Amino acid sequence: MNTPVNVALPSMRIAAIVNSASDLAVGARHACALVEERVRCWGANTRGQIGTGSTSAGLIAMASVVANLTGVSDVQAGGDFTCALSAQTLDAARRARDAPPVMERPKRYLSGIQPSGELHLGNYFGAMRQHIAHQHQGNSYYFIANYHALTTVHDAAKLRAMTFDVAASYLAFGLDPTRAVLFRQSDVPEVTELSWLLSTVCAMGLLQRAVSFKDKLEQGFEPKVGLFTYPVLMAADILAYDSTTVPVGQDQIQHLEITRDLVTAFHAIYGEVFVRPEPLLGEAPLVPGLDGLKMSKSYGNTIPLMAAGKPLKERINRIVTDSTPLEDPKDPEPRVAFKLYSLFATAEERAVMADKYRAGGFGDGHAKVELRAKIEEVFADARARRAHFDAHPDEVEDVLREGARQAREVARATLDRARRAVGLS
Ligand code: TYM
């Protein structure tokens, strides 16, 4: 029987202990991650309890997970940041604290785009551009999330066409299939099985808080099960490929938090199986649409990536402006036309336009003309390459097939690990 030892256990100290390597520390590491995730994801409530409560729910959770995973039965928690741990657990924690740090995994980038509407500047500057850039830095996996698109697109021909559009656009904008693996989500059906395994440890509350689900309901979508469990499938996508780094726009951050929560929940029951991924925001995590809100396929406020000529002009003309007289000096920063122009322009070009706004005699109408010219110029090469892929769809299909073959090998290995952990094999 272990002798319980009372120790003051501020959460920072736990963090220091649990970042170190040791099998025995695994329990403490999970515990810390659990609390950390709760604080990060679900905010005020837990923070309040951990920060001020005399019976800290966070500490109790922590202690119970430590108990679970270290097999020590007399772990208790209570009081102001005071937790009773057994001598054995404390020893394990101390050994872990003094152990050499864990070797860092090499980075693996992974991300996905839904073929649920025309790709737009938000998709490009928020996600695709960094995906393509990262292909030079580590191994990279990018996919077309057609399973996810089924939650909103119920037209087979449209889904096929948009799937091709995403693949051809990636290639046109510079994705090199010899450096990055590009594939269709549905060509790796292992993710649907993994999604099921994750759903068995996923609390309903986790999904009920998902902003994207509430947003879809507000847009008038029926509350379908697939829409509700969308983040679980997304977690499966990310975990299946042992991804360390997920480059996304701001709107996907909560989905990454849910993924990390699911890792914690799964590991707390079955032990370590998955790599815990980190989101990565690029330089333009929230590109505004024509109306100043987030640019989004579902808000009808986009500038499509492939728009040129008259259709491009029409979209740009719809960018919001205000009624400030032309001759007045203006602050460029809040203006959508200026923000969009800044995505394409060099720092000098941006500064020149900002000065013109501030000087007066220059308005959004002028900025729109410059924006249009800039888009035509910067995207000209990509549009030409895209025309090539439109004329040679077999080339795109070959890339996707080879990508699926490579992606499937990784996903299979992860799924096998998960199946063994839960007792399916
Ligand atoms: P989706 O298809 O809505 O968007 C694809 C990517 O584009 C980014 N994005 C933006 N970034 C900045 N400003 C904007 N206005 C803007 N609009 C879109 C998104 O953040 C995203 O990175 N759930 C995902 C698809 C997905 C996925 C995954 C992503 C499925 N499984 C696994 C990463 C990892 C989605 O709907 O993206």
User: 390 exposed, middle or buried (CB, 10 Å; 0-12, 13-18, 19+)?
Assistant: middle
Domain ranges of the chain: 4-98, 108-287+392-422, 309-378
* Ligand 1 pocket, residues with Cβ under 6 angstroms: 111-114, 122-123, 126-127, 145, 148, 234, 237-238, 246, 248-249, 251-252, 255, 284-287, 294-296
pTM value is 0.79
Closest Cα to atom 14, ligand 1: which residue? 122
Residue 252 Cα: closest atom of ligand 1 = 20
Q: Would you tell me which CATH number, out of the four given (3.40.50.720, 3.20.20.60, 3.40.50.620, 3.40.50.880), belongs to the domain 108-287+392-422?
A: 3.40.50.620
What CA–CA distance (Å, rounded) separates 174 from 274?
A: 31
Residue 234 Cα: closest atom of ligand 1 = 31
**CA–centroid distance, residue 403 to ligand 1 (Å):** 20
Residue 247 Cα: closest atom of ligand 1 = 22
Name the packing angle between helices 11-18 and 26-42 (round to 10°). 130
Q: What is the pLDDT along the chain (425 residues), one digit of tens a residue?
A: 333 333 333 332 332 233 222 323 344 444 555 444 444 443 333 322 332 222 344 455 455 545 444 444 444 443 333 344 445 555 555 555 556 555 677 899 999 999 999 999 999 999 999 999 999 987 999 999 999 999 999 999 999 999 999 999 999 999 999 999 999 999 999 999 999 999 999 999 999 999 999 999 999 999 999 999 999 999 999 999 999 999 999 999 999 999 999 999 999 999 999 999 999 999 999 999 999 999 998 889 999 999 999 999 999 999 999 899 999 999 999 999 999 999 999 999 999 999 999 999 999 999 999 999 999 999 999 999 999 999 999 999 999 999 999 999 999 999 999 999 999 99
Residue 288 Cα: closest atom of ligand 1 = 15
Pocket test for ligand 1, best of 113, 159, 183, 238 (most atoms within 8 A of CB): 113
**CA–centroid distance, residue 157 to ligand 1 (Å):** 22
Is 304 in a helix, a strand, or coil? Answer: strand
What CA–CA distance (Å, rounded) separates 46 from 52?
A: 10
What CA–CA distance (Å, rounded) separates 208 from 205?
A: 5
Highest CATH level, class, for 309-378 = mainly alpha
Closest to 418 (Cα-Cα) out of 190, 223, 217? 190
Contact (Cβ atoms closer than 8 angstroms) between residue 34 and residue 268:
yes
DSSP secondary-structure letter at 102? P
